[in-house]
A and B are shown apart, each in its own frame.
Chain A
């Protein structure tokens, strides 16, 4: 399957993020078109395009927009989730860096469609370069008359506020993000009410991922049929895949949904020389891992579900045979334990407990009964936590056990480092560790 650069088409140009650079390639044409349309028709086009949320859950975007009650007399808000923090994921931050105007145009069109006059972009706090870039891009767009009062003479007004988070993973969860944006602690809120009814400042709010919103202008410009001609029956359109790990050419590849991991690995230059694939996660650390036997599975929402995992953020991490599964999983659980917001019991206490057991297995001091205990603990968290963070933390171990039980059993007598030299995992040709 060939790559289909869309959002990433002009990343080789030095000014791809500027208004001028964007306008050279049909930038802001979609906006002119949109401003002449009825907002409901825009929602219709996005519905017809089959665009689904690119933040991980894959909820149909047009449908989400249509949940916003109209004529309710309350302000509406668009909040764009740029809190990309998933271990392994690296697509939203590059998009913001190099396709800044795509996002801004998408935000304007979306805001117009949902009748919002204020949109917020929430960016993860640890990436000042991206925050600076987006501030500049928004300033550019204001200067060019795409933002502010009476945009392009249409009578439509929109303000965009770029907000930097403080670096908590939980703030990627949409309700926690809203709390954080309001200046409260970043902890998830009860749903219902869903953000579409009572989101930011208790007003109807659409929360969408950076990539989702960035995709909107091309859909408007080229039509729903164009977009839905890409991808599979249930996963339409183009997706930005970021491939990380033990491949020769890690990076970002834009391709239709339904491409296989084998094809992506090909684009990424294959597993690093002299090594073999051991396992990969298709969509960040929060989805179950897969092995070589799944290389031909479609990278689509339904294709990944069919092999017992999830597309997630579609940001595969690839691990070769030098990697200790136990060490990899333990690292992820360190992360989840650290990032658990503390609100609900299963996630707060469960990650504390799981992490201790995994560390003992990593150190070779585990007990056989710990393996069963870990299964039980994951089952005790899965589906019982307040938000998806708990589920994510409960996901890696059972999936890893399915394929690599032996490595965990070895953790009862031999440390992971003794079994797998950690240095071997980080050495690339031409790079030495000394």
Chain B
């Protein structure tokens, strides 16, 4: 750190370095470095409260005062930039600085309640710690302290204890500068100054939990964690967030094998110091409805507890019988290592390439995009790049709701003037508004046209759109394609074409944490690990060597994706589900109400004879007869009833689950598997960055998916190795990424859509961050901060059905209906937007369609 000019030769420092001395130590720092940061670089810690490296300097706590030789007063080191040849003295070497700091500390404590023994922050409190290091042992203050009633709730989650507050304004600056939710502000003055909300506007920010973490005292606490543990009783593990594909680094704190809280952990490349409230507060699901023992279906059709060897043997026997006709569908919770194990298991043990990690709406276009461009592409567009991009165009993606760290990073770039954003969306959501970009309005299904127009420099484009189009041609322009675009025919193809035409980088942003990792690990039909096309002999042989099988044993043609698997099961000749394949109403005769019953495991399909019935046509050889399912939510499929039909039609259903999910009602064998805290693993975030996490609960006795698969595979006489996360990860890493020819990308054209007639509208939808998500089960405090579900239409659309702002409207089709209060919104006519999976608005479950479908709209309705 110290550059000393030796007599051997002059060392010329780069021009952008500034020299100074701190406590007599020479140091050179880049121009513009704050004194407090420069001191950190040489290990000199200056006490601070208001200072935070990611917030603008405030200099209001005055704790970091230092002496700058030549200046009459001590100066706040958090706000003063190092000047050339500045001589800085901290409390280590300066009486002036030391007295100033001790004085400020004494002041800070006079109105503080000193209730450390009952304060959640006690033990990890900057005020407590710095009072010890930079304060006097005794206070001279014997007067009357200012008091406030404690604590008050400023949201259903966040509590404010005003007596403990030192008015550092970290929370208010975070909310305004970082989150863009200025819902809290300091009010009143003098010692009565306090953090407050407006009377009818609670602190319902998706990022409110960060304020608890950066509060340097115990003024802000969460109901979730209040009085639950002491910091010194906690055991911490670095982890990665499983709630979305943002890839946040977290720290998970556990006490006596139970997770007590989660914190955002510092990763400057990814989440910086932040995370969202879902990632922070939603972890009760880890203990809810957990499956504890293997279950097998007995001769009466009841699910009964079985021993592991028994369950393994039954599964192996059934899957051996179904070899070559078994489909594997995994969900978003599956880790990279487990996804690799599923991919290997499918190809080696099941002899099948019928595997997909996408238990949701997909399309052939998306599959082609993933195979051609995304799979195994390693680190692509990064957070750093979106922060510095002249144009980030989002399509099929609402970043605040679907990838909050993308939102925060875009906002950071926009605030700093280094990034510009635009979005193709049905309306300008709060997230788009806060990232300050242009919203090019498009009804679902019209994205492709807008994308094509941007690429063609169409003269009919609006000025705003022209600016977007021209910025896309600049270096560093980026197109972020959200997973939702898969539902809109032609959208992904048009985005790919636009990227090719403009030179913009294209990144695919899935919503779920496990998807990108699963893709790279080979859990998609047609793709072996590392993005290797199964059609390429060289790719097959590379994998075969690692897997210890002969290349001839591996499938050579792409198998079925999730749509194909469901279609294969639901178009069995003779089955009583005619018409299902077209996605219309079905008559499913299973008692689905019992499926979610958490108290009972002996759920029985209504008619197991039909469920596993013999095909009527003896000659018919079904393409798929068995399913292996993991982490799958029935209601995540665009048409849940159709998926239930598929489950009924499958002769064999093997389920690997952490909890009762409804799948067990259809399953022949159910294996309980470990949740993230009980095993090590990793996810890959949307950037393609691997996010590893450690095992939080050391005493866990549960088994990861991969290990279960390995046991089944062994029983089938096809080894896939131990299946344990770390060996699986080593194998995957050894395989590395594919270099070689890839299949073609998507090139579909968008169908021209007719404008819906009056009383009908095109459905638009995405999911709120805080919604009915299974992983947020039981988080009532968190749910209290969720956005209220509303329906949105343009004024003209609403007028067409006689609906007014705030009144109830009904969105329906022949499957079901959603009734929500209407909020008139600036959006294209003939479009209705509802949240995807919120209380009272479950698009898949209620309507069985994807956005882009035409639905009926009417005023009024019964909630």
- Interface, chain A (partner B; CB < 8 A): 168, 170, 185, 190, 337-346, 348-353, 356-357, 373, 376, 379-380, 383-386
Contacts and interface: CB of A to CB of B under 8 A. Distances in A.
B63 A348 contact: no
Nearest to A337: B190
Contact of B190 (A342, A346, A373, A383): A342
Contact of B189 (A168, A345, A380): A168
Given A342-B188, A345-B61, 15 more contacts: A185-B186, A190-B58, A337-B190, A340-B191, A342-B186, A342-B190, A342-B192, A344-B61, A345-B166, A346-B103, A348-B190, A351-B191, A353-B110, A380-B104, A383-B73
12 contacts: A337-B191, A341-B193, A343-B60, A346-B107, A349-B111, A351-B191, A352-B110, A352-B191, A356-B143, A384-B73, A384-B103, A386-B59
B146 A352 contact: yes
Contacts of B100: 380, 384
A383 B107 contact: no
B144 A384 contact: no
A343 B167 contact: yes
A386 B60 CA distance: 6
A351 B539 CA distance: 75
Enumerate the 8 nearest inter-chain pairs by beta-carbon distance, A residue then B residue, closest first: A342-B193, A380-B103, A349-B107, A383-B73, A356-B143, A340-B190, A352-B191, A342-B189
A356 B57 contact: no
B108 interface: yes
A43 to B, nearest CB: 28
Please indicate which of the listed interface residues B100, B140, B190 has the most CB atoms of chain A within 10 Å of its own CB.
B190
Contact of A383 (B72, B141, B146, B166): B72
B35 interface: no
B190 A353 contact: no
Contacts of B192: 342
Nearest to A355: B143
Contacts of B185: 185
B173 to A, nearest CB: 12
B49 to A, nearest CB: 8
Given A337-B190, A345-B62, A353 B79 contact: no
B190 A345 contact: no
A209 to B, nearest CB: 23
A352 B192 CA distance: 10
Interface residues of B, number: 36
B708 interface: no
B141 A353 contact: yes
Contacts of A384: 62, 65, 73-74, 100, 103-104
A380 B57 CA distance: 22
A71 B32 CA distance: 25
Contacts of A373: 140
Contacts of A357: 143
Nearest to B190: A340
B676 interface: no
Nearest to B112: A349
Interface in B99-130: 99-100, 103-104, 106-108, 110-111
Nearest to B145: A352
Nearest to A372: B140
Contacts of A340: 189-191
Interface in B49-84: 57-63, 65, 72-74, 79
B59 A349 contact: no
B79 to A, nearest CB: 6
A190 B57 contact: yes
Q: Does more than half of chain A's interface fall in helix, strand or loop, or is it mixed?
A: helix
A380 B186 contact: no
Contact of A348 (B59, B73, B191): B191
B74 A349 contact: no
A380 B106 contact: yes
A385 B63 CA distance: 11
Contacts of B110: 349, 352-353
Contacts of A344: 59-62
A418 to B, nearest CB: 23
Contacts of A342: 167, 186, 188-193
A408 to B, nearest CB: 17
B61 A348 contact: no
Nearest to B61: A345
A348 B169 CA distance: 14
B54 to A, nearest CB: 17
A349 B140 contact: no
Contacts of A168: 189
A89 B759 CA distance: 71
B183 to A, nearest CB: 15
Nearest to A168: B189
A356 B143 CA distance: 7
A304 to B, nearest CB: 18
Nearest to B59: A190
Contact of B144 (A185, A356, A385, A386): A356
B79 A348 contact: no
A385 B104 CA distance: 10
B606 to A, nearest CB: 65
A352 B190 contact: yes
Contacts of A350: 107
A346 B65 CA distance: 12
Contacts of A352: 110-111, 146, 190-191
Please indicate which of the listed interface residues B59, B111, B189 has the most CB atoms of chain A within 10 Å of its own CB.
B189
A380 B73 CA distance: 12
Contacts of B188: 342
B74 A383 contact: yes
Contact of A345 (B57, B73, B108, B144): B108
A196 to B, nearest CB: 18
Please indicate which of the listed interface residues A170, A185, A352, A376 has the most CB atoms of chain B within 10 Å of its own CB.
A352
A385 B103 CA distance: 11
Contacts of A380: 99-100, 103-104, 106-107
Contacts of A341: 189-190, 193
Nearest to B65: A384
B186 A345 contact: no
Given A343-B167, A384-B104, A348 B193 contact: yes
Nearest to B74: A384
Nearest to B72: A383
Given A346-B103, A348-B167, A385 B189 contact: no
Contacts of B59: 190, 344, 386
A385 B190 contact: no
Given A190-B58, A384-B74, A353 B143 contact: yes
A278 B185 CA distance: 46
A387 to B, nearest CB: 10
A340 B193 CA distance: 10
A343 B61 CA distance: 8
Contacts of A349: 107-108, 110-111, 191
Nearest to A340: B190
Contacts of A356: 143-144
A340 B107 CA distance: 14
Interface string B510-526: 00000000000000000
A127 B166 CA distance: 34
B126 to A, nearest CB: 14
Contacts of B57: 190
Contacts of A379: 103
Interface in B21-66: 57-63, 65
A385 B62 CA distance: 7
A350 B141 CA distance: 11
Contacts of B61: 344-345
Interface string B90-101: 000000000110
Contacts of A383: 72-74
Contacts of B63: 345
Nearest to B168: A345
B104 A346 contact: yes
A182 to B, nearest CB: 14
B231 to A, nearest CB: 25
A385 B106 CA distance: 14
